[in-house]
Structure 1
Amino acid sequence: MRAVRPAEMRDLDGVVALAESLGSGMTTLPADRIVLAEKIERSVASFLGQIDRNEAHYLLVLDDGDGTVLGTSALYPHVGLPYGFFSYKRLRLVQRSQAVDVSCNVEMLTLANDYTGTTEVGTLAIHPSLKGSGAGRLLARARYMLVAIRPDLFAPLLMGEMRGWQDEKGENPFWNAVGARFFSMDFATADRLSATRGADFIAELLPKHPIYIELLPEEARAVIGKPHPNSMPAMALLKSEGFRYEGYVDVFDAGPQMHCDRDQVATVARSRQALPTMLSPNAAPAATPHLVCNEDLIDFRVVMASAQVSGNEIALTAEATRALDAQTGTTLRWSPGSLDPAA
């Protein structure tokens, strides 16, 4: 049975193979064995509580049941420290001259660090063969189940950023109009450096004054807040959880950045604790999909399984119980399989 669990060093070959299957563009999961080994090593230390919380990150993998890595997702508890997490915030400026009776209504992008210290959800990736299978939704929601069992490890605000729009040649008009003027490197290099070494060079090189949107080329204005087509499913998942877009965009490609209060994320808010029982054959026809996890940080497991909830008990199949490594008396946490408010 497929289950989401913390990444382990034995997963390195599988994570590298996954990254290679995705091609370029996934900067937080580069096809670089050394970088990925460091990510997994840090994640292992984070789950074990052996690393400072400001440097921790939690990398999850989707296990096919035989150790095969089918996908990843991650949580970065406190992003942007110590240099700041940089965004552009889209603002409107209205001015009026009484002397000539003329108004000026313009938009601008101002540099912001409002997301510094928040928890970022990211690195959502599945093998191309699994698109449309529900694997991406399972990996995405597994992150929120981790937040639900250990909210103390994460910031009160969660954010996620989408890859910005690119043309068929991989060009980003916003970068060409803004970033390329201040960084002596191409877009791919700057994006990769940001993901692998941090934001210190961004703080040093980005323009500090507002950028008037009307002064940008039309093609650059058109992509501000516009996600890459490949990011649309991930953006839809964020919206289904209650994340909202309020004008923040990535400083490189102007992709949208979204946020939600930690305790209001739908999967978190609707989750409940329960004790596991065996799902009887008679009850099986009435069982419905539920997202279920154990509450052990080190041996964290999440599955989507047919289950029936009654009071403080959740009836599961033997297969699901084994996948969760749930023992008698173990407390589990579940959330509805569907985020439909009526579910």
Structure 2
Amino acid sequence: MLVIRPIKETDYPALLQMAVGSGIGFTSLPVDEPLLREKLAHSIRSFASDIDHPGDLHYLMVAEDTETGEVVGTSAIDAAVGMASPFYTYHLGKVVHASRSLNVYNVVETLTLTNDYTGVTELCTLFLQESHRQGQNGRLLSKCRFLLMAEHPQRFNDSVIAEMRGVSDEQGRSPFWQWLQDNFFSVDFPTADYLTGVGKKEFIAELMPKYPIYVNLLSKEAQAVIGEVHEKTRPALRLLEAEGFCKHGYVDIFDAGPTVECPLKLIESVKHSFKVTISIGTPKDGSSEMLLTNARLQEFRACVSHIELDSSSQQAVISEQAAKALEVSAGDSIRIGALRFEQ
């Protein structure tokens, strides 16, 4: 069984291993020891903080295999992006060039550099080792964040976003960045991605075009990937779309991957999750497999397990294995949610 919990100091070696394995384009896990250690420490401070509003807080969780004790995945929430350093995105818009006298009317797409998402909550750092990409593990790792936000909504912004990884090849070459590199930056995509991941974003303001970019001036290869996701990211995008997330014309400044967003209160797992009081036993045959969380913060735990549910009385039976994973006892309340929502 996989259990999701807040990261702790002893998880650093596993965090570093996952940063190496996540590859180029996974900006939120750069292979940089000081930054990873600060990210870990920032998360520990965030979970321990006593606040009632969003702020510069980072909640980093890991997936632990309870049979082996191995840490095999990460999942995180940034409560309010852009508070410590600028959060850049491109917005895809339109301008019209028209002449009534010449009977000319042209609509041209543009990319404009913005900080429009400053202060919103971001889902980030979702990574699962290939050895555990099976069953409901991916859904658990992604969706547990929604139940955490449902239980503690005051800690998060009313709007939630997720930046989806854009198109790049196995060597980390991005068609979109290649055009920017050739014309403005003169540094390759892996270097730019790494610098951003370690917080050295000054070069963006210094070298990024100050005016809107006309999309039709980009190379055909760059135009083709605007708003498209990396093939390995498609399952994550489908899951978020089923939760109510959609595109609003914002794309990443490096690989042009789409940003999707949804109001917190309209996220399906937030809307439909609810709390029940538990007893511990053996759920009957035919019981539902659901996402379970212990409804705490600093000692947050989440897992997937079968549960015998009596909705009318808000009572439920969970197994001893699930109770141990969640660190709960009979009579405690847990928050539960569905594993799937159909689009």
1:1-343 to structure 2, matched below 5 A, reads 1-49=1-49, 54-65=55-66, 66-197=68-199, 199-280=201-282, 283-310=283-310, 311-340=313-342
- Contact kept in structure 2, 1:173 and 1:219, CA below 8 Å: yes
Distance 1:88 1:22, change over 3 A: closer
Give the length in aligned residue pairs.
339
For residues 4-31 of structure 1, the C-alpha deviation after alignment (integer angstroms, 9 at most, x for no partner) is 0000011112222233333433221233
1:42 is paired with a residue whose SS is: helix
Which amino acid in the other structure matches residue 175 of structure 1? Answer: W
- Contact kept in structure 1, 2:276 and 2:333, CA below 8 Å: yes
Distance 1:23 1:167, change over 3 A: closer
2:56 is paired with a residue whose SS is: coil
Distance 1:95 1:234, change over 3 A: same
Following superposition, the deviation at residue 224 of structure 1 comes to 0.7
Which amino acid in the other structure matches residue 243 of structure 2? Answer: E
- Contact kept in structure 2, 1:83 and 1:203, CA below 8 Å: no
More divergent stretch after superposition (84-93 vs 14-23): 14-23
More divergent stretch after superposition (21-30 vs 222-231): 21-30
- Contact kept in structure 1, 2:149 and 2:156, CA below 8 Å: yes
For residues 72-98 of structure 1, the C-alpha deviation after alignment (integer angstroms, 9 at most, x for no partner) is 010011111254321111112234211
Give the percent of matched residue pairs that are identical in Structure 1 and Structure 2.
37
1:89 is paired with a residue whose SS is: strand
Following superposition, the deviation at residue 152 of structure 1 comes to 0.8
More divergent stretch after superposition (310-319 vs 295-304): 310-319
Distance 1:67 1:53, change over 3 A: farther
- Matched residues in 1 for 2:303 and 2:84: separation? 36
TM-score, with normalisation over the residues of structure 2? 0.92
Following superposition, the deviation at residue 263 of structure 1 comes to 1.1
Structure 2 gaps of 5+ residues are none
TM-score, with normalisation over the residues of structure 1? 0.92
Root-mean-square deviation (CA, aligned residues, Å) is 2.0
- Contact kept in structure 2, 1:180 and 1:187, CA below 8 Å: no
Which amino acid in the other structure matches residue 259 of structure 2? Answer: Q
- Matched residues in 2 for 1:62 and 1:110: separation? 38
For residues 314-334 of structure 1, the C-alpha deviation after alignment (integer angstroms, 9 at most, x for no partner) is 211111112111134322111
